[in-house]
């Protein structure tokens, strides 16, 4: 099993979620994060003093899937995020391996638990 | 001694105007908090700026020219002096100026979350200098409508401004909203209305209470005299009826929403309170307390229907419900006056309402259109996503709190 | 001319009542903000709905019947007219009606975070129509207690309602809390009290300041006249003493909590201010400013002790401390009146307090019990976990902010 | 009958004082909200405690001794009675006491986020008992400055306290800030000013509106009489001018910041409103409305320049801008009085300003220094990191909201 | 070493924490997340319009442990979460492998640093 | 590629960020978390009742890097966190392996995408 971690623009959240449910991904965990990447933060102003907000709001999605789903999930995310063409700040996807997944309610483990 | 008594009357009426005026000024805080609570946090600083800015503009422009237009008094810029006949002229001006600001405040809520700040301010300048004062001159000012007809001839009666202040504000708002369009994401591709939640309901509730309190000044001060038994009784009755109507609006909206939606909807309840207040404003002097409660309750039911209707059927996006609360219910308020007041006629009320609406809607529409053509009235899609706070004010209202 | 002077007096007294009444009405906002700040964010929208709803219910039911019960005036529903003898009857009603609402507001804080909204509203209907007006009729109304004895015979004196308004509200609250039980998670398995933190202390502080301001109307208006040197002096003295007592309460609670807990506890300080105000309310007319400060300070110390005692020893869960602030300190306020006022006797104060407490506690207890049996007064455990906002109002107060 | 008229005048003036005083008391809430909104959330509970505590201390200490110092009235602790000559003495005291509290409130904002709570309270005790009352005695009290010279001889004129209240508060604040130093992280190693954002701008805006409203009492009450045509006209004019100046301040600060920074800076706009109010306070009685608007606008521009100048050039860290708003603009307010008022001379204004500044700055400086030496005035670095709420109050203002 | 990531109901947080400290787990990192799984979100209401809140509040616990602790930790979490019997929304546990753990203060690495 | 997860004191965030950008780490994702470790929580007070806030505010940094960067990144973080000498609560670093990294905008994968 794999854990796909995608850092995306907050405004893309609902697009990505919809796209993923169409390919039958049934579970997602979303976290509000602050991201710092190539995209430069924006400038704010306070009492006349400018300052750069370096960490921009992003959403982190964690999606546990079976090995077979991996390719499709990645493609789906990329497509949903690039709805308006690719822009800096669109985000990144990280993939790592999962040793075990357990559904607490039933105690099921492995791919069925995903 | 005769003279001393006259002076005392003069002093009391002046004092009364000032206290009532201070309460109406306080409504500016009420509108600010109400609107700041009902928008998303990313548009909060902008709407606060808008509200304090429009209040300042209204006070200044009405002083410079509007008061003169409305009451045809002394010459440009010099109309305000301490001295008056039965009360200080300055006290009268003070009371009148906070009314203009109220009318203008109504607009800001309806166009929230997407309008350019300085386009709004430009509108405010003209609205408070000309558009409002002109219709005010036809009604409270007693002038004839473009020399054509006189509203008082038809038996038009609007005690404290359900039409003159509230419906007028809502008409300007409606014209603006039609040209502006809905907020991004408010309607999905099938035209289904998506709720956009207000970020801070305690603020919205506080705003409602402030408005409720300020309304005692709004209606109570509109008796225009205090220093005699008759006028004191009238003011007292107006206070009681104003309070009763607000209470009626709350109860009606609360129960109606509970029955319809199954839950006690707080924002509808708040709108119910305001609707009760708007409804009674055209005639808080004549009904009995019970009737005032019922008029308020009528407003409370209408506002719930109207908000849903505008939002889901007409697809007119009004973030705080200002058009329903002040426009639709303002009209209702005008129309129920003849039930308890023989000086008013149903036809007079209709003609008055139409006159005000037509003038304000059309002149505002033209003005919005001109602004749209020249400087644009809507912020960019990108800025709307990021929030008007950043694009218009360069800062956030709650920088420390993590938001959706 | 004689007549003109009488009219001026009439007008001034009426105006005075209206201004004081508007300040008391403002206390409704104070209670709302105080309570909204002291509950968890998941119960905030519900308590706001509760507060605006109860105010509306109080205003309506007192108009329909309660005022009549209390002052045995004219017939049902018709008791309010503009005309009065030395001031407008409507102004008197206006001033009285905001008092009922205050008493009812006290209840809402104590039962917060777990009571069903509509059970509360049902209680409010009866409380403001019968329970409060009846005890009010025995005291300010001058009627005898069920035809048995007359409180004024014993030298009972409660200037502005430490007992009649505040302790009465607290008694109803206590009965409710006893039947309702503590909030889930308030006491662990060993009965140890777990703190449940209020979500928004600026709101709670704002509420306290609003109440402080409104209290000038509450006590100041209870002189019931302004338009003579004697009454003007009395009103001024009442203002000064009310302010002094609040200040005394703040300082005492702040220092006492600092010494006891080692920190300057803000919520205790806020309660200290309110306790000072409640303590002086039974007799703000007779003490000197220094004594008023000390009475307030007494209230400030008592409230800290009482809150801890209720919370940790009696294990009675009162989220905002309403029973201590309004009940325990209200009693204290009654009992110190004889120290500075010869018209009051210690035994009279005790008998009065007992009468009020017994009546309100028992009748409220029965009413809560009936409500509990029929519709239930407590929301489900599940709903309590999720928050009353979702279950009762279907929305959240701060939907955008991530919460614990 | 003659007598009845006198009594009515007496009653009206007393009532007027009480209403104006209640409005000024309300400013305490305004300062609390303004400051609570402009600090970081981790220092919010502390500043709320500070504000309510200082108000209580001011009310108590001024009663115990300060009033006596300022107006050399009756003996220690017994100076306040209901009776007065042309209005109740208690009403006068009530009005005066809320002024002291205002002056003290100014200090709390400037030293926010880093001062020890009880050091501040200790300062408040002395400031309200001696420092403020003494300079008050030289000005409004009419006493000579240490027996050396009399300010009235020079044509010093400060209607409602631009200097006596506002600049005095700012002078004490400046002395404190100089000894206290900047907040940790305010200036980086190169001395560049780093913005530290206020956590809750709706609160700050609410505070500004509250202050705006309360200012009507502050300036309006300073006419000191109402019950004649002349005084009524004066009060009305003062109300109008106060409002106009605030409006002018808003517009000027908004536009100036927009031009300079490119954005409509909300916190600057709020400061603009307050600057307009401070600027007009020295002489709201003589200018025309237009001139009042311009004076306010002058304040609005000055405050923006001054805040930036203190922050970036002088590197004096004043979290809410109190020194600029109340000090710099207070001085400006004093200096423009002679333009419209022949009773005032430019030199008199300068001498008065210098006298007040020198006395308050030096005496406060010594007091701060003594406090620093004995108990320390600054919280530890560690506590500053974690926030004064935890270290001073042991709780958090918004415990549920996740913060940066 | 393993990283155990458990997505649980917020109201179970203190139960789980207590249960874990009994078996001598000394470190936990908790994050507020929004979860989307089989459990359907609840319906809210705004001005009469219903809408579904799809992402429900959850708490994510990250617990770094040694390989030996794994089984016990998983069992303990499951038990604490099912205090009232298993219900939909009770959550999931993900296990992945950790290559290295370092305690910043001391520089210790490996199992001792956990 | 590796994923370095560091749990640090919030007040160290800007130091760490600056130190990392000096060694050319170009992407960081930061999350506000609550940590529970050896460091005991602090005591707060509410209406006279003391209670322990067990979970202390921490910041979690997730930094995806190439294998070569690993050592330097860890050292840099440790140094920046111990600016005032090591104290309890200074935090922990976890390292796990990343199977894939994808830059959404360009579709780049592997080390170039980091
Ligand atoms: N190496 C990394 N490690 C951790 N998070 C990263 C890394 N690179 C990017 N991110 C996350 O992804 C978000 C988007 O990065 P961005 O700079 O816009 O990427 P790109 O360079 O692909 O345009 C960042 O805000 C950050 O949260
Ligand atoms: N495949 C998954 N990937 C990531 N997170 C998941 C996944 N499945 C479930 N979750 C998380 O676990 C939480 C509980 O899921 P739920 O649907 O209640 O699980 P179950 O199907 O076991 O009842 C979800 O809210 C989500 O945060
Ligand atoms: N075993 C662990 N699993 C997950 N997070 C941990 C673990 N140990 C520590 N942490 C995180 O690191 C933070 C710092 O831990 P702390 O107890 O101060 O570490 P130390 O023992 O190194 O001083 C904790 O608040 C917690 O968020």
Structure confidence by residue, pLDDT tens digits, C117-176: 999 999 999 999 999 999 999 999 999 999 999 999 999 999 999 999 999 999 999 999
Tell me the pLDDT band of D78, cut-offs 50, 70 and 90.
Answer: low
Q: How far is the CA of E81 from the centre of ligand 2 (A)?
A: 14
Q: How far apart are the first and last CA of chain C?
A: 69
F103 Cα nearest atom in ligand 1:
22
pLDDT at position C268 is 96
Q: How far is the CA of E35 from the centre of ligand 2 (A)?
A: 6
pLDDT at position C404 is 42
Q: pLDDT digits over B331-368, tens only? A: 999 999 999 999 999 999 999 999 999 999 999 999 99
| DSSP string of D329-370, one letter each residue | HHHHHHHHHHHH-TT--HHHHHHHHHHHHHHHHHHHHHHHHH
Q: How far is the CA of E91 from the centre of ligand 3 (A)?
A: 23
- Using a 6 Å cutoff on CB, does residue A91 contact ligand 1? yes
ipTM: 0.94
Helix (H) or strand (E) holding C109: helix C89-110
- CA dist B119 to B56, B108, B128, B276, E33, Å? 16, 11, 14, 32, 40
How far apart, in whole angstroms, are the C-alpha atoms of residue D155 and residue D133? Answer: 21
**Which has the minimum average pLDDT: A79-88, B90-99, D97-106, D342-351?**
A79-88
CA-based angle B38:B48:D51, to the nearest 5? 100
pLDDT at position B404 is 42
Residue pair C311/C317 in contact (Cβ under 8 Å)? The answer is yes
Closest-CA distance, A25 to chain B, in angstroms, reads 23
β A56-65/A28-36 pair status: antiparallel
β E28-36/F28-36 pair status: antiparallel
Q: pLDDT digits over C225-257, tens only? A: 999 999 999 999 999 999 999 999 999 999 999
Convert D116-155 to b/e letters by CB count within 10 Å (16 or more is b).
Answer: bbbbbbbbbbbbbbbbbbbbbbbbbbebebeeeeebeebb
Q: What is the mean pLDDT of residues C360-366?
A: 98
Locus of tokens 């954002």: D197
pLDDT at position D88 is 94
How far apart, in whole angstroms, are the C-alpha atoms of residue D322 and residue D167? Answer: 10
F17 — contact with chain A (CB < 8 Å)?
yes
What sign for the dihedral angle of Cα F10, F15, F20, F26?
positive
Chains touching B, CB cut-off 8 Å, 3+ pairs: A, C, D, E
- CA dist E54 to A17, A30, B306, Å? 10, 11, 28
Put simply, the answer to whether F47 touches C308 (Cβ < 8 Å) is yes
E90 Cα nearest atom in ligand 2:
18
CA-based angle B66:B67:B71, to the nearest 5? 120
Most confident of B71-80, C200-209, E37-46, E86-95: C200-209
Q: What is the mean pLDDT of residues D358-386?
A: 96
Structure tokens at C190: 């060993």
What are the phi and psi torsion angles at D54 (to 5°)?
-70, -35
Mean pLDDT by 10 residues, chain B (404 residues): 91 97 98 98 97 98 92 66 89 94 97 98 97 96 94 95 98 98 93 92 98 98 96 97 98 97 95 98 96 98 97 96 98 98 96 98 98 97 91 90 60
pLDDT at position B323 is 98
Q: Tell me the chain A residues in contact with residue E33 when contact means C-beta distances shorter than 8 Å.
A: 29-31
pLDDT at position E56 is 85
Average pLDDT, chain F: 88
Residue pair A47/D307 in contact (Cβ under 8 Å)? The answer is yes
F113 Cα nearest atom in ligand 1:
22
Put simply, the answer to whether B395 touches D226 (Cβ < 8 Å) is no
- CA dist A96 to C280, D79, E4, E94, Å? 68, 79, 14, 12
Locus of tokens 């507020």: E32
Q: What is the mean pLDDT of residues E74-88?
A: 87
Put simply, the answer to whether A46 touches B402 (Cβ < 8 Å) is no
Residue pair B171/B110 in contact (Cβ under 8 Å)? The answer is no
Residue pair C127/C323 in contact (Cβ under 8 Å)? The answer is no
Residue pair B46/B394 in contact (Cβ under 8 Å)? The answer is no
Q: pLDDT digits over D291-340, tens only? A: 999 999 999 999 999 999 999 999 999 999 999 999 999 999 999 999 99
Locus of tokens 């600027």: D279
Q: Is C98 exposed, middle or buried, given 0-12, 13-18 or 19+ CB atoms closer than 10 A?
A: buried
Helix (H) or strand (E) holding E64: strand E56-65
pLDDT at position B74 is 59
Put simply, the answer to whether E107 touches F37 (Cβ < 8 Å) is no
Q: B interface mutation test: which of E42, E46, E52, E56 has the most B CBs within 10 A? A: E46
How far apart, in whole angstroms, are the C-alpha atoms of residue F106 and residue F112? Answer: 11
Q: Tell me the chain D residues in contact with residue B53 when contact means C-beta distances shorter than 8 Å.
A: 250-251, 254, 264, 269
How far apart, in whole angstroms, are the C-alpha atoms of residue D248 and residue D300? Answer: 7
Which is nearest to F108 in space by CA: A20, A62, A60, A93? A93
Phi/psi-derived region of residue F41, left when phi > 0, alpha when psi is between -120 and 50, beta in every other case: beta
Positions of chain F with pLDDT under 70: 40-41
Tell me the pLDDT band of D2, cut-offs 50, 70 and 90.
Answer: confident
Name which of D395, D402, D404 is nearest F45 (Cβ-Cβ). D395
How far apart, in whole angstroms, are the C-alpha atoms of residue C171 and residue D308? Answer: 55
Q: C interface mutation test: which of E44, E46, E53, E85 has the most C CBs within 10 A? A: E44
CA-based angle B284:B202:B279, to the nearest 5? 15
CB contacts under 8 A, B 88-127 vs D, are 88-91, 93-94, 97, 117-118
| DSSP string of D31-94, one letter each residue | HHHHHHHHS-GGGHHHHHHHHHHHHHHHHHHIIIIIHHHHH--SSTTT---S--SSS-HHHHHH
Residue E14 or residue D24, greater confidence: D24
Residue D75 or residue C334, greater confidence: C334
Q: What is the mean pLDDT of residues C212-225?
A: 98
Residue pair C65/C80 in contact (Cβ under 8 Å)? The answer is no
- Using a 6 Å cutoff on CB, does residue F103 contact ligand 1? yes
Helix (H) or strand (E) holding F20: helix F13-22
A91 Cα nearest atom in ligand 1:
14
Whose atoms come closest to the Cα of A6: which ligand?
A: 1
Name which of D194, D261, D307 is nearest A51 (Cβ-Cβ). D194
Residue nearest to atom 6 of ligand 3 (CA): E27
Whose atoms come closest to the Cα of A105: which ligand?
A: 2
Whose atoms come closest to the Cα of F98: which ligand?
A: 1
Locus of tokens 């809410």: D320
Which is nearest to B158 in space by CA: B358, B326, B335? B335
Q: Please state, as a whole number, how many other Cβ atoms lie within 10 Å of the Cβ of residue F43.
A: 12
* Nearest Cα residue in chain B from C6: B229
Put simply, the answer to whether F46 touches D402 (Cβ < 8 Å) is no
How far apart, in whole angstroms, are the C-alpha atoms of residue B174 and residue B164? Answer: 15
Evaluate if residue C403 carries a pLDDT over 90. Answer: no
Average pLDDT, chain C: 95
Number of residues that make up chain A: 114
How far apart, in whole angstroms, are the C-alpha atoms of residue C251 and residue C254? Answer: 5
- Using a 6 Å cutoff on CB, does residue A12 contact ligand 1? no
Closest-CA distance, F96 to chain C, in angstroms, reads 29
Calculated CA dihedral for residues F103, F109, F113, F114, nearest 10 degrees: 110
* Nearest Cα residue in chain E from A25: E37
How far apart, in whole angstroms, are the C-alpha atoms of residue B71 and residue B79? Answer: 10
pTM: 0.95
* Nearest Cα residue in chain E from C391: E44
Which is nearest to D104 in space by CA: D66, D72, D73, D158? D66
Q: Is B205 exposed, middle or buried, given 0-12, 13-18 or 19+ CB atoms closer than 10 A?
A: buried
Per DSSP, D394 falls in state S
Q: How far is the CA of F25 from the centre of ligand 1 (A)?
A: 10
F73 — contact with chain E (CB < 8 Å)?
no
Convert C34-52 to b/e letters by CB count within 10 Å (16 or more is b).
Answer: bbbbbbbbbbbbbbbbbbb
**Which has the minimum average pLDDT: A53-57, C110-114, C137-141?**
A53-57
Put simply, the answer to whether D227 touches B5 (Cβ < 8 Å) is no
Chains touching A, CB cut-off 8 Å, 3+ pairs: B, D, E, F
- Using a 6 Å cutoff on CB, does residue A27 contact ligand 2? yes
Q: How far is the CA of B168 from the centre of ligand 1 (A)?
A: 51
Structure tokens at B175: 């014209």
Name which of E11, E46, E57 is nearest C395 (Cβ-Cβ). E46
What are the phi and psi torsion angles at D69 (to 5°)?
-60, -45
Name which of D7, D36, D46 is nearest C229 (Cβ-Cβ). D7
Q: pLDDT digits over C2-42, tens only? A: 899 999 999 999 999 999 999 999 999 999 999 999 999 99
How far apart, in whole angstroms, are the C-alpha atoms of residue C201 and residue D200? Answer: 12
């Amino acid at each position: 099993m794999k854990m796909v971690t995608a850092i995306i623009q907050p405004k893309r959240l609902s697009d990505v979620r919809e796209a993923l449910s169409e390919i039958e991904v049934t579970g997602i965990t979303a976290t509000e994060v602050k991201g710092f990447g190539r995209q430069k933060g924006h400038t704010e102003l306070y009492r006349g003093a400018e300052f750069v907000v370096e960490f921009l709001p992003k959403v982190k999605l964690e999606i546990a899937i079976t090995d077979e789903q991996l390719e499709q999930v990645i493609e789906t995310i990329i497509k949903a995020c690039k709805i308006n063409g690719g822009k800096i700040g669109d985000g990144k996807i990280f993939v790592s391996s999962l040793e075990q997944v357990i559904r607490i309610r039933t105690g099921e483990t492995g791919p069925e638990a995903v | 001694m005769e003279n001393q008594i006259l002076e005392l009357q003069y002093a009391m009426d002046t004092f009364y105007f000032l206290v009532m005026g201070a309460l109406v000024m306080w409504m500016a805080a009420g509108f600010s908090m109400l609107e700041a609570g009902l928008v998303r946090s990313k548009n909060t600083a902008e709407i606060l700026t808008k509200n304090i800015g429009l209040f300042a503009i209204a006070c200044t422009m009405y002083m410079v020219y509007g008061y003169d237009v409305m009451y045809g008094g002394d010459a440009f810029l010099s109309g305000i002096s301490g001295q008056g006949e039965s009360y200080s002229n300055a006290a009268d001006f003070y009371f009148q100026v906070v009314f203009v600001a109220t009318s203008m405040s109504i607009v800001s809520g309806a166009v929230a979350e997407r309008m350019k700040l300085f386009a709004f301010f430009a509108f405010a300048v003209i609205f408070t200098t000309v558009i409002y004062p002109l219709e005010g001159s036809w009604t409270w000012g007693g002038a004839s409508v473009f020399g054509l007809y006189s509203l008082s001839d038809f038996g038009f009666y609007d005690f404290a401004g359900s039409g003159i202040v509230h419906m007028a504000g809502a008409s300007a708002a409606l014209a603006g909203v039609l040209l502006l369009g809905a907020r991004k994401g408010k309607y999905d591709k099938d035209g289904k209305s998506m709720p956009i939640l207000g970020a801070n309901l305690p603020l919205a509730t506080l705003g409602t209470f402030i408005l409720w309190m300020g309304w005692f000044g709004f209606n109570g001060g509109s008796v225009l005299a205090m220093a005699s038994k008759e006028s004191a009784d009238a003011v007292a009755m107006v206070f009681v009826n104003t309070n009763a109507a607000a209470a009626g609006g709350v109860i009606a909206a609360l129960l109606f929403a509970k029955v319809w939606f199954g839950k006690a909807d707080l924002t509808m309840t708040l709108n119910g309170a305001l609707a009760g207040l708007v409804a009674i404003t055209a005639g808080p002097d004549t009904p009995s307390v019970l009737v005032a409660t019922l008029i308020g309750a009528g407003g409370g039911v209408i506002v719930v229907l109207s908000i849903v209707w505008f939002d889901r059927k007409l697809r007119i996006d009004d973030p705080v419900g200002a058009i329903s609360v002040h426009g639709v219910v303002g009209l209702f308020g005008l129309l129920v006056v003849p039930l308890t007041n023989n000086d008013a006629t149903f036809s007079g009320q209709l003609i008055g309402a139409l006159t005000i609406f037509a003038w304000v809607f059309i002149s505002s529409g033209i003005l919005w259109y001109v602004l749209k053509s020249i400087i644009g009235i809507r912020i960019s899609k990108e800025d709307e996503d990021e929030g008007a706070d950043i694009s218009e004010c360069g800062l956030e209202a709650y920088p420390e709190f993590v938001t959706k």
